[in-house]
Structure 1
């Protein structure tokens, strides 16, 4: 498959891109390079090779969920610009 200006225009439209004429020429060249590389990859013999789903076969080590209080309410309110004894006070944003 060869990428032409109409194909680049269609892809640019789908991607909501506006390309100048010089950018289109560069895009045509770059997309043709990508497709050439893909053709090279298609030449590789992959018979007997299992599809790769995960990069590693190890399980993700999980840890026990532990609930703990890291910061106190007073500590959280220390740098608040406006607060009462236990809450942040913010301006009303919904009428």
Structure 2
């Protein structure tokens, strides 16, 4: 399938895009290249390949839920202007 300038202008109108006339010709080339690539993809033999409907059917690897960092609150609160024990003290923002 090959597109011409009038077809690209019509597609732009349907997509509610304002494309100046001087940009239509380069867009014709770009869209024809995209359609050519899609035609190449259609030629790929996919016999025996099950379609992927969604990605949630696959299990993700699990890792152990363990603390790997932390345990030094004195270093964390070292720069706190007004520490409250092992925590940062912040001004009240909700009344």
Do the two structures share a fold, i.e. TM-score over 0.5? yes
Matched, 1:2 2:2: yes
How many residues align? The count is: 64
Paired residue secondary structure (2:93): helix
Matches within 5 A, 1:3-82: 3-58=3-58, 75-77=93-95
Gaps of 5+ in 1: 61-73, 78-95
Question: Cα gap change, 1:14/1:48 in structure 2, threshold over 3 Å: closer, same or farther?
Answer: same
Q: Greater share of strand residues, 1 or 2?
A: 2
Q: Deviations over 1:20-77 (max 9, x none)?
A: 22210111011000000001101100111111112353369xxxxxxxxxxxxx6324
Moved more, 14-23 or 50-59: 50-59
Q: Per chain length, whose mean CA-contact separation is higher, i.e. which structure has more relative contact order (CA < 8 Å, sep 6+)?
A: 2
Q: Moved runs in structure 1, 4+ residues, more than 3 A?
A: none
Q: Can you give the 5+ residue segments of structure 2 that lack an aligned partner in the other structure?
A: 61-91
